[in-house]
Structure 1
Amino acid sequence: MKLLRFGPPGQEKPGLLDAEGRIRDLSGVVPELAGEVLSPAGLERLAALDPSSLPVVEGHPRLGPPVAGMRNFVCIGLNYADHAAETGAAIPKEPIVFLKSLGALQGPNDDVEIAPDSVKTDWEVELAVIIGTRAKRVSEADAMSHVAGYAVCNDVSEREWQAERGGTWDKGKGHDTFGPLGPWLVTKDEVPDPQDLAMFCEVDGHRFQDGSTRTMIFGVEKLVSYVSHFITLHPGDVISTGTPPGVGLGQKPPVYLKAGQTMRLGIQGLGEQTQKTVAGH
């Protein structure tokens, strides 16, 4: 099942994608894709619906983030062995955890702002794990029972702010528009092995990232369990699990984004995003 939210920012309605690729309006069934709706029981109720009984949404509405009510936008750094190698970093002994500001969250195809003082804005295609039920200090064996599904995330990053301005990585990760999520939440039953998904990112048609979740250092079960020992996870929370090689920082010489470009990125079975870069203020 592919669940989504459509409409103007702040006015999104819940929907699902039917087998023909049409958006069906779920707002008469559930008020939002949040809370208990994301639990196993909530998802079972949605899966039992006949999509043809739901109103078709005409045209091509804007898509928002596929879940509402997020409390924690958690990211994992240097979680692909080949990405760590391209940055010259050692393989982490434990997951590197940082938080992305909720203010960065946006729809999958919304414009990405290049801040006026940014010189090193970069792209990162990532597998996002979406939490369905509260997870606190859960075991790896139990971790997947707390997962609602998966989505594509672009962990847009300003490398100078991240690495050259002192302190933590968060400064380079939390700018407005730096967290495109979607196009939809794909429920975990449609993703039999999250550790075997092809993924890519292109800028102006040039493919920079062409990787696979196979090279993740810490897998989904480990990450959900690990993070839950430090941060209680709630329905709608996201763990963005790291990026494969091919980021701008890793190019020789490095390549960074500027206003007027187009990013296209996607993950096998989870859909694609397209963002234009615009001058921020």
Structure 2
Amino acid sequence: MKRARIYHKGATVWAEVIDGDQTLKLVSGETLPASDAHWLPPTTPGAAIFALGLNYADHRKELGFQTKEPPLVFLKGHNTLTGHQGATPRPADGNQMHPECELVAIIGKPARKVSVADALDYVSGYTVTCDYAIREYLENYYRPNLRVKNRDATTPLGPWIVDAADLPDPQSLSLRTTVNGVIVQEGSTRDMVLDVAGLIAYLSETQTLLPGDMIMTGTPQGVHFCNPGDEVVCEIEGIGRLVNHLMAEPVA
């Protein structure tokens, strides 16, 4: 099953995605063409958002890091999220802003000190994110400050959540990013340094993961700087296409 979160008739509602992703079926039974939907990030308010850096071997090599170094983990705020077909502002001085396609694992039940062998049993579903980075603001790779990774609407998420039962092997998925139809990033989840199960075990060792918490699992190689007006599409096999539109950040 695919579940989307949308804004409809003055309310936030969840809907099932049916008819080859062309139609949304609301809990009320009402249907809506997917093309008419006002998409929201498919997330639970208040859920924690864990983000991973340097968690793909090819991306580490691209940036000149040794594979023995542990992945970087940091937190993101809900202010960063925007939905499918949303608009993301690019700062006037953000000439090195680039998209990062990532698989997102969503926790379905409390997880504490979970073993790698059991970790996937705690996943309720998966979605796609585009975690934009702005390299002008980067202090260093192990300190991704607020100006880089916690800016408003710089993390598109969606379009929907795919149930974990429909995606039994999260380590065999292809990822791709296009900008205006041109491929700028391509890879596979099999290249993660810590796979989804390993990340859940690692994070749950020191804290309890709660239902709705999200783990953004990192991005493969490919750095492409984008401009206002660009259409950016992040696609993951078995989940879907997340479309985002870059715009110039309004002058305050």
When normalised by structure 2's length, the TM-score is 0.91
Could you tell me whether the CA contact under 8 Å between 2:72 and 2:142 is conserved in 1?
Answer: no
Report Cα offsets for 1:87-135 as digits up to 9, x if no partner: 1112144332111222101112211110233232111000000111122
Q: How does 1:242-257 map to 2 (within 5 A)?
A: 242-248=218-224, 256-257=225-226
Could you tell me whether the CA contact under 8 Å between 1:99 and 1:170 is conserved in 2?
Answer: no
* Counterpart AA for 2:75: L
> Any unmatched runs of 5+ in structure 1?
29-53, 249-255
Q: Which has the higher strand share?
A: 2
Counterparts of 1:258 and 1:146 in 2: how far apart (Å)?
Answer: 39
Query: Does the residue aligned with 2:137 lie in a helix, a strand or coil?
Result: helix
Aligned match of 2:192 in 211, 216, 232?
216
Query: Does the residue aligned with 2:40 lie in a helix, a strand or coil?
Result: coil
* Counterpart AA for 1:279: A
Q: How does 1:198-277 map to 2 (within 5 A)?
A: 198-248=174-224, 256-277=225-246
Aligned match of 2:52 in 61, 64, 76?
76
* Counterpart AA for 2:5: R
* Counterpart AA for 1:265: C
Query: Does the residue aligned with 2:84 lie in a helix, a strand or coil?
Result: coil
Counterparts of 1:192 and 1:2 in 2: how far apart (Å)?
Answer: 14
Partner of 1:280: 249
Partner of 1:16: 16
Counterparts of 1:94 and 1:88 in 2: how far apart (Å)?
Answer: 14
Partner of 1:55: 30
Report Cα offsets for 1:31-85 as digits up to 9, x if no partner: xxxxxxxxxxxxxxxxxxxxxxx32124521211112224211111111111111
- Count of aligned pairs between the two proteins: 247
Could you tell me whether the CA contact under 8 Å between 1:127 and 1:151 is conserved in 2?
Answer: yes
Q: How does 1:1-281 map to 2 (within 5 A)?
A: 1-7=1-7, 11-21=11-21, 22-26=23-27, 28=28, 54-58=29-33, 60-163=36-139, 168-171=143-146, 172-248=148-224, 256-281=225-250
Counterparts of 2:105 and 2:46 in 1: how far apart (Å)?
Answer: 12
Counterparts of 1:194 and 1:177 in 2: how far apart (Å)?
Answer: 26
Decide whether aligned partners of structure 1 residues 3 and 204 sit closer, same or farther in structure 2, where only a CA change above 3 A counts.
same
Counterparts of 2:223 and 2:32 in 1: how far apart (Å)?
Answer: 36
Q: Identity, % of aligned pairs?
A: 34
* Counterpart AA for 1:276: H
Counterparts of 1:263 and 1:112 in 2: how far apart (Å)?
Answer: 10
Could you tell me whether the CA contact under 8 Å between 2:87 and 2:153 is conserved in 1?
Answer: yes
Deviation of 1:19 (Å) = 4.0
Decide whether aligned partners of structure 1 residues 85 and 176 sit closer, same or farther in structure 2, where only a CA change above 3 A counts.
same
Partner of 1:36: none
More displaced stretch, 84-93 vs 105-114: 84-93
Could you tell me whether the CA contact under 8 Å between 1:129 and 1:147 is conserved in 2?
Answer: yes
Query: Does the residue aligned with 1:269 lie in a helix, a strand or coil?
Result: coil
> Any unmatched runs of 5+ in structure 2?
none
Decide whether aligned partners of structure 1 residues 209 and 138 sit closer, same or farther in structure 2, where only a CA change above 3 A counts.
same
More displaced stretch, 119-128 vs 67-76: 67-76
Counterparts of 2:158 and 2:46 in 1: how far apart (Å)?
Answer: 14
Query: Does the residue aligned with 2:222 lie in a helix, a strand or coil?
Result: coil
More displaced stretch, 200-209 vs 99-108: 99-108
Counterparts of 1:116 and 1:227 in 2: how far apart (Å)?
Answer: 36
Decide whether aligned partners of structure 1 residues 160 and 92 sit closer, same or farther in structure 2, where only a CA change above 3 A counts.
farther
Deviation of 1:174 (Å) = 0.8
Query: Does the residue aligned with 2:244 lie in a helix, a strand or coil?
Result: strand
Deviation of 1:167 (Å) = 7.7
Could you tell me whether the CA contact under 8 Å between 1:100 and 1:173 is conserved in 2?
Answer: yes
Counterparts of 2:116 and 2:217 in 1: how far apart (Å)?
Answer: 16
When normalised by structure 1's length, the TM-score is 0.82
